[in-house]
């Protein structure tokens, strides 16, 4: 079966351009409304979040209208409005565990837990960390979206029992992650200084931040694979494994950050090193789990 064949389109619409267009329109509207509400109507600080809320509702409404007009299969029908306990339980389980995992990641639990340790090394380390984390997060954010796309691909084929396509997709995903992360890692490692200069003019802060970015940036493939694994386990209806991997990754990071930074000859560099080590250990845990599962299936 070829990718993109007619049979495949039965499992998803696959139209990512339209949401992007409405997102861009929402962003432009947000800027215009922000200027008008803050400066024009004199609402002050309150005008900025109000502009954001209005623009997001605008995008949501436009997408709803577009979907209603162009995709009849998404319209509500009375015959289909029947409560199914099994389906509801499955959706709530997947949604709840995925929301928990995303909350743990996006609320920066690992960062919050080591922030006190970072603060103990002084103002310059704090400033360097704050600046470098912004660059770091922006650099690997596309890989997180890649993981979400991979989740959709695996889920579609898992539901259709297309195991061979999942295996083929796994190989393709690994190569794409490696290629993308190699490019991003190169940019971050070699452009660390000018990137940090956008946030600080202090030479010491920049130098400390360069150390952070060169350590993290060299190992973006590890977190790329981790996002891929998160998506894989959610797709095969095992979202709890994704939650466990997230907690394990963050837990090892926090533990190693305190242990390594307590060694005088390592200092705050130990905090930087703990992050990719946490990624690597979570990846290994996932591989171990899949190996054990494969062994059990052959017994």
- What are the boundaries of each domain within the chain? 1-82, 90-298
CB-based contact 253:110 (threshold 8 Å): yes
203 burial via Cβ count (<10 Å: 0-12, 13-18, 19+): exposed
Residue 188 confidence (pLDDT): 92
Residue 219 confidence (pLDDT): 92
CB-based contact 170:231 (threshold 8 Å): no
CB-based contact 236:167 (threshold 8 Å): no
Query: Whole-model pTM?
Result: 0.71
Cα(106)–Cα(213) distance, integer angstroms: 20
Residue 5 confidence (pLDDT): 40
Local structure of 2: helix, strand or coil: coil
Cα(268)–Cα(33) distance, integer angstroms: 43
Query: 37: which 2 tokens?
Result: 């509400």
Cα(218)–Cα(110) distance, integer angstroms: 20
Mean pLDDT, contiguous 10-residue spans, the chain (299 residues): 39 63 84 85 81 88 86 73 76 73 60 80 91 85 80 83 85 89 92 90 92 92 88 82 81 89 92 91 85 59
Query: 1: which 2 tokens?
Result: 């079966």
Residue 296 confidence (pLDDT): 57
Residue 104 confidence (pLDDT): 64
4: left (phi over 0), alpha (psi -120 to 50) or beta: left
E strand intervals along the chain: none
Which of 94, 56, 101 shows the shortest CA–CA distance to 247?
101
Contact partners, residue 283, CB within 8 Å, separation at least 6? 222, 225, 226, 229
Query: 281: which 2 tokens?
Result: 């250990």
């Amino acid at each position: 079966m070829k990718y993109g064949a007619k049979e495949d389109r039965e499992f998803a619409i696959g139209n990512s351009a339209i949401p992007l267009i409405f997102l861009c329109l929402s962003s432009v509207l947000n800027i215009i409304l922000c200027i008008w509400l803050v400066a024009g109507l004199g609402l002050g600080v309150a005008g900025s979040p109000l502009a954001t809320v209005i623009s997001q509702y605008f995008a949501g409404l436009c997408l709803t209208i577009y979907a209603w007009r162009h995709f009849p299969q998404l319209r509500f029908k009375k015959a289909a409005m029947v409560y199914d306990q099994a389906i509801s339980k499955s959706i709530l389980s997947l949604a709840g565990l995925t929301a928990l995992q995303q909350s743990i990641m996006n609320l920066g639990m690992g960062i919050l837990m080591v922030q006190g340790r970072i603060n103990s090394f002084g103002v310059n380390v704090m400033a360097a960390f704050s600046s470098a984390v912004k660059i770091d997060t922006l650099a690997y954010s596309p890989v997180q979206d890649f993981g979400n796309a991979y989740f959709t691909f695996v889920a579609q084929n898992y539901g259709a029992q297309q195991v061979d396509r999942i295996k083929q997709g796994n190989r393709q995903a690994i190569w794409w992650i490696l290629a993308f992360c190699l490019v991003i890692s190169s940019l971050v490692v070699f452009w660390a200084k000018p990137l940090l200069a956008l946030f600080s003019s202090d030479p010491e802060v920049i130098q400390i931040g360069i150390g952070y970015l060169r350590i993290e940036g060299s190992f973006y493939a590890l977190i790329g694979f981790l996002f891929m694994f998160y998506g894989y386990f959610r797709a095969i209806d095992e979202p709890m494994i994704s939650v466990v991997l997230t907690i394990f990754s963050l837990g090892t990071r926090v533990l190693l950050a305190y242990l390594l930074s307590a060694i005088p000859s390592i200092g705050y560099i130990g905090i930087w090193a703990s992050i990719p080590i946490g990624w690597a250990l979570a990846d290994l845990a996932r591989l171990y789990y899949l190996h054990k599962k494969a062994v059990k299936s052959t017994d």
